[in-house]
Structure 1
Amino acid sequence: MIQIQAALFWAYAIGATFALSAARQLQVWERINAGEGPRTRSRAANPYLALTGLFAAVLMVPTGLFLLWQNPSWSTMHVADGHEGVWAGFVLFYAGGIPVAAILGFLVAQGLVLVGAGYWAYLQCVGGYFLLFGTLIHGWDGKGYERFFSSGAGDFADWPRDSVVNHVLDFVTSGTFLALLLFGAAVIGTMLVTEIGWLMEGWSLPGADEDRKVPHLLAIAIAAAGVYGLPFVGALFASVLVRLVGGWLGLPLFAVVAGLTLLHGRSPVRWLYGLVGVPGRHWRAGLDEAGGGQESGVTTDRSA
Structure 2
Amino acid sequence: MIQIQAALFWAYAVGATFALAAGRQLQVWERINAGEGPRTRSRAANPYLALTLLFAAVLMVPTGLFLLWQNPSWATMHVAGGHDGVWAGFVLLYAGGIPVGAVLGFLAAQVLVLVGAGYWAYLQCVGGYFLLFGVLVHGWDGSGYERFLSPGARDWADWPQDGVVNNALDFLTSGTFLALLVFGAAVIGTMLITEIGWLMEGWSLPGADEDRKVHRVLAVAIAAAGVHGLPLLGAVTASALVRLLGAWLGLPLFAVLAGLVLLPRRSPVRLLYDLVGVPHRHWRAGLDDTTAGMTGVTSDRSA
Normalized against structure 2, the TM-score is what?
0.95
- Asked if residue 216 in structure 1 is aligned to residue 216 in structure 2, the reply is yes
Deviation, 1:207, is: 1.0
Which AA in structure 2 matches 1:81?
G
1:182 aligns with 2:189: no
- What is the letter of the counterpart of residue 64 of structure 2? G
Matching residue's letter, 1:237: T
* Deviation of the 1:89 alpha carbon: 2.2
> Aligned partners of 1:29, 1:41: CA distance in 2, in Å?
9
Partner of 1:75: 75
SS of structure 2 residue aligned to 1:165: helix
CA contact under 8 A between 2:13 and 2:102: conserved in structure 1? yes
Identify the residue that residue 27 of structure 1 maps to in structure 2. Answer: 27
Check conservation: 2:207, 2:286, Cα contact below 8 A: no
Counterpart CA distance in 1 for 2:109 and 2:162 is 44
Q: 2:37 aligns to what?
A: 37
Query: Contact (CA 8 Å) 1:13, 1:105: kept in 2 or not?
Result: yes
**Aligned residue pair count:** 294
**Residues in 1 aligned to 2:293 and 2:90: alpha-carbon distance in whole angstroms:** 50
Bigger mean CA deviation after superposition, 18-27 or 87-96: 87-96
Closer, same or farther: CA 199–136 of 1 in aligned 2, 3 Å:
same
The CA distance in 2 between the partners of 1:82 and 1:132, in whole Å, is 24
Mapped pair 1:146 → 2:142: no
Measured in 2, the distance between the counterparts of 1:165 and 1:264 equals: 40
- Are the equivalent residues in 1 in contact too, given 2:20–2:109 (CA < 8 A)? yes
Paired AA for residue 186 in structure 2: A
1:207–1:295 CA contact under 8 A, matched in 2: no
Contact 1:206 1:295 in 2 (8 A): no
In structure 2, C-alpha distance between the alignment counterparts of 1:190 and 1:167, rounded to whole Å: 30
CA distance in 2, matches of 1:283, 1:139: 39
Aligned twin of 2:50: 50
The code of the aligned residue for 1:144 comes to G
Question: 1:302 maps to which residue?
Answer: none
**Correspondence for 2:282:** 282
> 1:31, 1:286 within 8 Å by CA — same for their partners in 2?
no
Superposition map of 1:19-168 within 5 A: 19-168=19-168
**Deviations along 1:168-192, whole A, 9 cap, x unmatched?**
0000100000000000000000000
Matched, 1:13 2:13: yes
Alignment partners' CA distance in 1, 2:60 and 2:191: 10
Unaligned runs of 5+ in 2: 295-303
Any idea what SS the aligned residue of 2:283 has?
strand
Contact 1:33 1:40 in 2 (8 A): yes
Q: Aligned AA for 2:72?
A: P
Q: Secondary structure at the match of 1:283?
A: coil
Secondary structure (helix, strand or coil) at the match of 1:74 reads: helix
Output the amino acid matched with 2:143.
K
Once structures 1 and 2 are overlaid, which stretch shifts more, 113-122 or 86-95?
A: 86-95
The answer to whether the 8 Å contact 1:207/1:294 transfers is no
Gap change, CA 1:213 and 1:295, over 3 Å in 2:
farther
| SS at structure 2 position matched to 1:206 | coil
The 1-side partners of 2:286 and 2:217 are apart by 33
Measure the CA separation in 2 of the matches of 1:202 and 1:21.
8
Superposition misfits of 4+ residues, deviation over 3 angstroms:
285-288, 293-298
- 1:210 partner SS: helix
> How well do the aligned residues superpose, as a CA RMSD in angstroms?
1.4
Structure 1 residue 283: Cα displacement: 2.5
Secondary structure (helix, strand or coil) at the match of 2:273 reads helix
Any conservation in 1 of the 2:31–2:291 contact (CA below 8 Å)?
Answer: no
Contact 2:32 2:291 in 1 (8 A): no
Query: TM-score, normalization: structure 1?
Result: 0.95
Structure 2 counterpart of 1:242: 242
Amino acid at match of 1:38: P
More helix by share: 2
Match of 1:231 in 2: 231
- Following TM superposition, by how much is the alpha carbon of 1:87 offset from its aligned partner in structure 2, in angstroms? 1.1
1:163 Cα deviation (Å)?
2.1
Q: What is residue 205 of structure 1 aligned with on the other side? A: 205
Find the aligned partners of 2:176 and 2:292 in 1 and give their Cα distance: 51
Q: 1:162 Cα shift?
A: 1.4
Asked if the contact 2:33/2:40 (under 8 Å) is kept, the reply is yes
Structure 1 gaps, min length 5: 299-304
Deviation by residue 1:58-86 (Cα, 9 ceiling, x = unmatched): 00000000000000000000000000001
Q: Give the fraction of aligned pairs with identical amino acids, expressed as a percent.
A: 83
